[in-house]
Amino acid sequence: MPDESKIERDRIEKRRFRIKDIDQLKLVDDVFNEYTLKALYEIMNRRIVLEVYGPIAQGKEAKVIWGKDYDGKDLALKVYYTLANRFVNRNPYIIGDRRFSGKPSNPFKLASMWCRKEFRNMKRAYEAGVLVPRPIAFYSNILVMEFIGEEGVPAPLLKDVPPDDVQAAYIDVILNVEKAFIIGKLIHADLSEYNILNWNNKLYIIDWGSAVDSSHPNFMDLLYRDVRNINRFFSKLGASVVDEGKITEALIKRSKGSYIVSDGRVIVDGKDLLGYLSIN
Tell me the catalytic residues: 190, 207
Q: Dihedral angle at the C-alpha atoms of 190, 193, 198, 203, nearest 10 degrees?
A: 50
Quick one: which H or E segment has residue 217? none
Helices (H), the chain: 4-15, 25-28, 34-45, 91-94, 107-127, 166-178, 219-236, 244-256, 273-276
Residue number with the smallest Cβ distance to ligand ADP: 59
CB of 153 to ligand ADP, least distance (A): 9
> CA–CA separation, 108 vs 80, rounded Å?
9
Q: Quick one: what does residue 148 bind among Mg ion, ligand ADP, none, with the CB cut-off 5 to 8 Å set by partner type?
A: ligand ADP
Cα atoms in the 13 Å half-sphere on the side-chain side of 80: 30
Total residues contacting Mg ion by CB under 5 A comes to 3
Which residues would be at the binding site for ligand ADP (CB under 6 A)? 57, 59-62, 64, 76, 78, 133, 145-149, 154, 157, 195, 206-207, 209
Q: Quick one: what does residue 125 bind among Mg ion, ligand ADP, none, with the CB cut-off 5 to 8 Å set by partner type?
A: none
CB of 266 to ligand ADP, least distance (A): 25
Q: Which of 55, 59, 104, 149 binds Mg ion (CB under 5 A)?
A: 59
CA proximity to 17, closest of 69, 53, 65, 67: 53
CB of 76 to ligand ADP, least distance (A): 4
Q: Quick one: what does residue 147 bind among Mg ion, ligand ADP, none, with the CB cut-off 5 to 8 Å set by partner type?
A: ligand ADP
Q: Can residue 207 be called a binding residue for Mg ion (CB under 5 A)?
A: yes
Q: What is the 3 state secondary structure string of 1-50?
A: CCCHHHHHHHHHHHHEECHHHHHHHHHHCCCCCHHHHHHHHHHHHCCCCC
CB of 47 to ligand ADP, least distance (A): 20
Q: Quick one: what does residue 157 bind among Mg ion, ligand ADP, none, with the CB cut-off 5 to 8 Å set by partner type?
A: ligand ADP
Nearer to Mg ion, 59 or 96 (CB): 59
Which positions touch Mg ion (CB under 5 A)? 59, 195, 207
